Structure 1
Amino acid sequence: MESLNTWLTGLLTENSIFTLQTLGYYWEGLVTTTQLVFLSLLIGLVLAVPLAIGRGSKHRFIKLPIFFYTYVFRGTPLLVQLYLIYYGVVFVEGIQDTWLWVILEDPFMPALIAFTLNTAAYTTEIFHGAIKATARGEIEAARAYGMSQSLMMRRIVLPSAFRRALPVYGNEVIFMLHASAIASVVTLMDLTGAARFVYARFYAPFDAFLFVAAIYLCLTFSILFLFRFLEKRLLAHLKPVS
């Protein structure tokens, strides 16, 4: 116990990178990363559901623009999208004289827009595939009960598609967590930005970035645990009866 106290005391000395001040930077970075990932996933999921439904529409003027949107955002790097939105908004004529500039001048908002549009594109394709995989028997049974198209979509197709898409969507959540490391390139103090700041101050790249890597690992395993739990609860009916 005494040796543990000695180690903790030495860890927080001024000669160590893990001072109360630097730990505060890491905490700020953790909060920023969590907010950015959570909000982008939440808004992206809300956008992806109607887009996934429209993606399977028989009308070309509905499905083609959605296909083009998902094709562009899945076919280009997220870093390029972030740069275009962050730097490109400045060149929109007259925007600096509007109320939008008060919001967009904060680097968090362009990053949130880029991350949201990116994850919405991937999630749209995930749910589109899950909707297409709906068993024909489920649809025929719903029609036999006299359900309308919208009611069948709400009660039969979407809940079933969500359960099928859950494992793949879990990978998308982890991808967005890892992709959030690029947010620091637009001056956001996220986890990676905090590590860069600590590295620039103490010239200790291994300590600074290994600590951040450990935090990312903890967050990743937490997400994995959450989705495994959801899969067990929502997909329990698919387990073979022993």
Structure 2
Amino acid sequence: MIDIIQEYWKALLWTDGYRFSGVAITLWLLVLSVVMGGSVAVLLAIARVSPYRAVRLPVWVFTYVFRGTPLYVQLLIIYSGLYTLALVKENELLNTFFRSGMNCTVLALALNTCAYTTEIIAGAIRGVAHGEIEAARAYGFSTFKLYRCIILPSALRSALPAYSNEVILMLHSTALAFTATVPDLLKVARDINSATYQPFTAFGIAAVLYLVISYVLISLFRKAEKRWLQHVKPSSSH
């Protein structure tokens, strides 16, 4: 094991020539997908709770499709399927985009986490205290100001515990990036296994690194919850 770590630590943790390390690629996939998916999810969540069927139905279809099908299948369709379409082949911009395994992986991860995050935030919006909304309306808040000042801050805080689980699941989902030949952490581990024929060591190292990243993420979310959800914790009796 020591020999493998000494030989491959740069590929795992630092840089391997001109390429980023497996951990760096994994974190980059996670950050890009979570930021992109989460940003769009806020808007879709608002549409998801709209009283107008024509607004909320397309969002429901989107979340149903991406939550109801495996991420692996979604990645295969985006990476292998879309590139075969004439529309993609004939458009230079689309052709260049879908030729990149990295682009396809980020898109698949972002759409998947967007669907789950939309439902998480939509549920939190529905859970905002009705009294807070009525009080804001009594003060003459417009719908935009109501969402900006009351509903979204309250919903995003209450959605934090569930969203932290979604981020951890997305970290695990990045392991599918090898399907699109993206050199993430698992891809590096597979390469180590191919070179050394020691699967327990190769994938064991990858598992430990995933555990370390998960621990850091969980710790950060726990600190965020302690800061922003302090008011919902029951007070200790004296």
Q: Secondary structure at the match of 2:141?
A: coil
Task: Tell me by how many angstroms 1:144 deviates.
Answer: 1.2
Partner deviation per Cα, 1:21-68 (whole Å, 9 max, x = no partner): x22221311111111111000000110001000001111111111000
1:51 aligns with 2:44: yes
Aligned to 1:4: none
Amino acid at match of 1:224: I
1:18 aligns with 2:5: yes
* 8 Å CA contact 2:157, 2:229 repeated in 1: yes
Aligned to 2:173: 179
Structure 1 residue runs of 4+, over 3 Å off? none
Q: Secondary structure at the match of 1:156?
A: helix
Distance in 2 (CA, whole Å) between partners of 1:228 and 1:178 is 19
Distance in 1 (CA, whole Å) between partners of 2:23 and 2:59 is 33
Distance in 2 (CA, whole Å) between partners of 1:105 and 1:23 is 29
Distance in 2 (CA, whole Å) between partners of 1:42 and 1:35 is 11
Distance in 2 (CA, whole Å) between partners of 1:46 and 1:149 is 20
Amino acid at match of 2:53: R
Q: Secondary structure at the match of 1:111?
A: helix
Aligned to 2:209: 215
Q: 1:79 to 1:145 in 2, by over 3 A?
A: same
Partner deviation per Cα, 1:201-230 (whole Å, 9 max, x = no partner): 000101111111000000111111011000
Amino acid at match of 1:23: W
1:77 aligns with 2:73: no
Aligned to 2:118: 124
Partner deviation per Cα, 1:137-164 (whole Å, 9 max, x = no partner): 1001101111011100000000000111
With 102-111 and 129-138 compared, the bigger mean Cα shift is at: 102-111
* 8 Å CA contact 2:44, 2:118 repeated in 1: yes
1:235 aligns with 2:222: no
Distance in 2 (CA, whole Å) between partners of 1:99 and 1:148 is 40
Q: Secondary structure at the match of 2:5?
A: coil
Q: 1:94 to 1:127 in 2, by over 3 A?
A: closer
With 28-37 and 119-128 compared, the bigger mean Cα shift is at: 28-37
Distance in 1 (CA, whole Å) between partners of 2:221 and 2:6 is 34
1:65 aligns with 2:58: yes
Unaligned 5+ runs, structure 1:
1-9
Task: Tell me by how many angstroms 1:130 deviates.
Answer: 0.1
Distance in 2 (CA, whole Å) between partners of 1:94 and 1:169 is 36
* 8 Å CA contact 2:47, 2:56 repeated in 1: yes
Task: Tell me by how many angstroms 1:94 deviates.
Answer: 4.8
Q: Secondary structure at the match of 1:99?
A: helix
| Counterpart pick for 2:192 among 175, 190, 198 | 198
Amino acid at match of 2:73: V
Distance in 1 (CA, whole Å) between partners of 2:180 and 2:131 is 50
Aligned to 1:169: 163
* 8 Å CA contact 2:83, 2:98 repeated in 1: no
Amino acid at match of 2:43: P
1:89 aligns with 2:75: no
Task: Tell me by how many angstroms 1:71 deviates.
Answer: 0.3
> TM-score by structure 2 length?
0.92
Number of residue-to-residue matches in the alignment: 228
Distance in 1 (CA, whole Å) between partners of 2:102 and 2:138 is 50
Amino acid at match of 1:45: G
Q: Secondary structure at the match of 2:86?
A: coil
Quote the RMSD (CA, aligned, Å): 1.3
Aligned to 2:129: 135
Amino acid at match of 1:216: Y
